[in-house]
């Protein structure tokens, strides 16, 4: 990928790039829709990465090209508000706040819309590349913060901080336990065999489903403050006070809040189980998490539900939608000895229902953002 980004840069701009950086996509093991509610998440960086090769341009101008969209665009950073993938790059440049310009070539094997946080891979890699161009030394957390502001404030997707923190701070062979209210991090060795089934159903988060859910969660907090004035985050609602929560909230706010409070407890417990290698119990939590996403948070699809049900019937230890939902991928935890049988059964069930076979890949926990050699 680095070679591709560098080669594309040379071919498009006629000079070598000055620097390059890459960042990974992620799969979230458990802790869905908890990040923007101040709860915990447990992502793992995947092997697929996005590489950004960068060089200088005239001040205030961004010239960008990618291997997916092979015509270079020229953007006035002060005036233009582009849509599509270049909006994320403009967001990064604005969040960094300099007045320089940049030429950028992007190569990626993180599939967009598959629930693997392709936009965070792009914004974190771009933030690192741009900081190298400026000779600025930003920490992983600072890069995550620039990338988050690019996506949240400039593009307008009301996401949480999970994807950017994962792309910036992930470590090979580890899951990242991130508490999103305090931003405390710890690393847990990834045990077990995790697979990803891509349902091929694509969604555009900027199109609004995530923003709507987030607004519902904020409305729930506003009402729950009447019960508990010091409540800052939905995830901080005491798990022992569910009857009170149910009384205080009308639907659909009640269901959304029950998901967030339940998922918060499941994620903290799940992290302990994973650390102790108790994969069977951990797998049960994955099924419970999917059920909660489906029934209470209403962010699943028939394709995701079918994969989870088929995985369960075929003997997977656990399975759930991963990422925002409304399409994308299912994460499965399997016993290696049963892997082939489970994969075949899931493929068969999916093909029977939807007339095509979904791709299945293995999760290899990789590392976060890094500088890449320029070739």
Q: Is 163 in the site for ligand GLA (CB under 6 A)?
A: yes
Mark whether 99 is an active-site residue.
Answer: no
Residue 161 beta carbon to ligand GLA: minimum distance, rounded to whole angstroms: 7
Q: Say whether residue 294 binds ligand GLA (CB under 6 A).
A: no
Peptide bond preceding 252: is omega within 30 degrees of 0, i.e. cis? yes
User: Applying CB under 6 A, does 324 fall inside the site for ligand GLA?
Assistant: yes
Q: Which is nearer to ligand GLA, 63 or 163 (CB)?
A: 163
CA distances (Å), 73 to each of 8, 61, 77, in order?
14, 10, 12
Residue 179 makes contact with ligand GLA by CB under 6 A = no
Q: Residue with structure tokens 């600072």?
A: 142
Whose structure tokens read 């290696």?
Answer: 336
Nearest to ligand GLA of 210, 253 (CB atom): 210
**Footprint on residues 238-257 left by ligand GLA (CB under 6 A):** none
- Please report, for residues 5, 150, 201, the alpha-carbon distance to residue 359 in angstroms, rounded to integers and kept in the order given: 26, 31, 12
Q: Which of residues 340-369 bind ligand GLA (CB under 6 A)?
A: none
Closer Cβ to ligand GLA, 56 or 112, answer by number: 112
Closer to ligand GLA by CB, 13 or 237: give it. Answer: 237
Structure tokens, 41:
């998440």
Q: What is the dihedral of CA 141, 144, 145, 149, to 10 degrees?
A: 180
Query: Total residues at the site for ligand GLA (CB under 6 A)?
Result: 13
* Beta carbon of residue 36, minimum distance to ligand GLA (angstroms, whole number): 5
Rule CB under 6 A: say whether 327 interacts with ligand GLA: no
Report yes or no: 211 and 324 within 8 Å, Cβ to Cβ. Answer: no
- Alpha-helix residue ranges (DSSP H) falling in the chain: 2-13, 85-96, 118-133, 140-149, 162-169, 209-224, 242-248, 253-275, 279-295, 302-313, 339-354
Binding segment for ligand GLA among 12-20, 42-50, 158-166, 332-340 (CB under 6 A)? 158-166
35 binds ligand GLA (CB under 6 A): yes
Q: Name the catalytic one among 109, 153, 163, 198.
A: 163
Instruction: Tell whether residue 129 is a contact of ligand GLA (CB under 6 A).
Output: no
Smallest gap, in angstroms, from Cβ of residue 374 to ligand GLA?
30
Please give the biggest Cα pair distance in the chain: 66
DSSP structure string for 208-256: SHHHHHHHHHHHHHHHHTTT-TT---GGGS-GGGHHHHHHH--TTHHHH
Stretch that binds ligand GLA, among 28-36, 192-200, 241-249, 300-308 (CB under 6 A): 28-36
Q: Please give the Cα distance from 77 to 100 (Å, whole number).
A: 9
Nearest to 195 by CA among 354, 306, 46: 46
Contact between 323 and ligand GLA (CB under 6 A)? yes
Residue in 162, 221, 273, 333 binding ligand GLA, rule: CB under 6 A: 162
| Contacting residue, 2, 13, 29, 33, with ligand GLA by CB under 6 A | 33
Whole-angstrom distance, CA of residue 278 vs CA of residue 182: 27
Nearer to ligand GLA, 59 or 156 (CB): 156
Sole binder of ligand GLA in the list 21, 32, 132, 170 (CB under 6 A): 32
According to the binding rule CB under 6 A, does residue 286 interact with ligand GLA? no
What is the Cα–Cα distance from 336 to 316, expressed in whole angstroms?
A: 10
Considering the complex, state which of residue 54 and residue 324 has its C-beta at the smaller distance from ligand GLA: 324
Considering the rule CB under 6 A, would residue 36 count as an interface residue with ligand GLA? yes
Coil/strand/helix, residue 291: helix
Q: Residue 53 or residue 235: which is nearer to ligand GLA going by CB?
A: 235
Exposed e or buried b per residue across 120-150, where buried means at least 16 C-beta atoms within 10 angstroms of its C-beta = bbbbbbbbbbbbbbbeeebebeebbbbbbbb
Per CB under 6 A, 160 contacts ligand GLA: yes
Residues 103-122 that bind ligand GLA (CB under 6 A): 117
Residues that bind ligand GLA (CB under 6 A): 28, 32-33, 35-36, 117, 159-160, 162-163, 210, 323-324
Catalytic residue numbers? 163
């Amino acid at each position: 990928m680095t070679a591709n980004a560098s080669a594309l840069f040379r071919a498009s701009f006629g000079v070598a790039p000055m620097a390059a950086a890459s960042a990974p996509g992620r799969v979230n093991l458990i802790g869905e829709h908890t990040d923007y509610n101040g709860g915990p998440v447990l992502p793992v960086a995947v092997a697929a990465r996005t590489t950004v090769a960068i060089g200088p341009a005239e001040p205030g101008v961004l010239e960008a090209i990618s291997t997916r969209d092979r015509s270079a665009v020229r953007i006035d950073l002060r005036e233009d508000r582009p849509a599509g993938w270049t909006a994320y790059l403009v967001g990064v440049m604005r969040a960094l706040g300099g007045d320089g310009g940049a030429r950028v070539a992007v190569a990626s094997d993180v599939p967009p819309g598959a629930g693997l946080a392709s936009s965070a891979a792009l914004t974190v890699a771009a933030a690192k590349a741009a900081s190298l161009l400026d000779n600025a030394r930003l920490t992983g957390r600072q890069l995550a913060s620039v990338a988050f502001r690019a996506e949240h404030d400039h593009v307008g997707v009301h996401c949480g901080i999970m994807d950017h923190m994962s792309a910036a701070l992930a470590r090979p062979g580890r899951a990242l336990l991130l508490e999103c209210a305090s931003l405390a991090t710890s690393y847990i060795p990834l045990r077990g065999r995790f697979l990803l089934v891509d349902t091929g159903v694509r969604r555009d988060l900027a199109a609004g489903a995530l923003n709507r859910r987030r607004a519902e969660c904020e409305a729930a907090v506003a009402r729950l403050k009447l019960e508990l004035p010091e409540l800052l985050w939905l995830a901080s609602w005491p798990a022992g006070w569910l009857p009170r929560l149910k009384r205080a909230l009308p639907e659909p706010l009640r269901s959304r809040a029950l998901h967030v409070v339940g998922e918060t407890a499941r994620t903290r417990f799940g992290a302990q189980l994973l650390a102790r290698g108790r994969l069977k119990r951990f797998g049960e939590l994955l099924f419970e998490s999917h059920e909660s996403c489906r029934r209470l948070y209403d962010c699943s699809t028939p394709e995701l539900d079918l994969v989870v049900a088929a995985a369960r019937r075929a003997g997977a230890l656990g399975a759930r939608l991963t990422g925002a939902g409304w399409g994308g991928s299912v994460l499965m935890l399997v016993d290696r000895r049963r892997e082939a049988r489970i994969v075949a059964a899931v493929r068969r069930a999916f093909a029977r229902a939807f007339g095509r076979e979904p791709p299945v890949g293995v999760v290899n926990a990789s590392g976060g953002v890094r500088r890449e050699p320029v070739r």
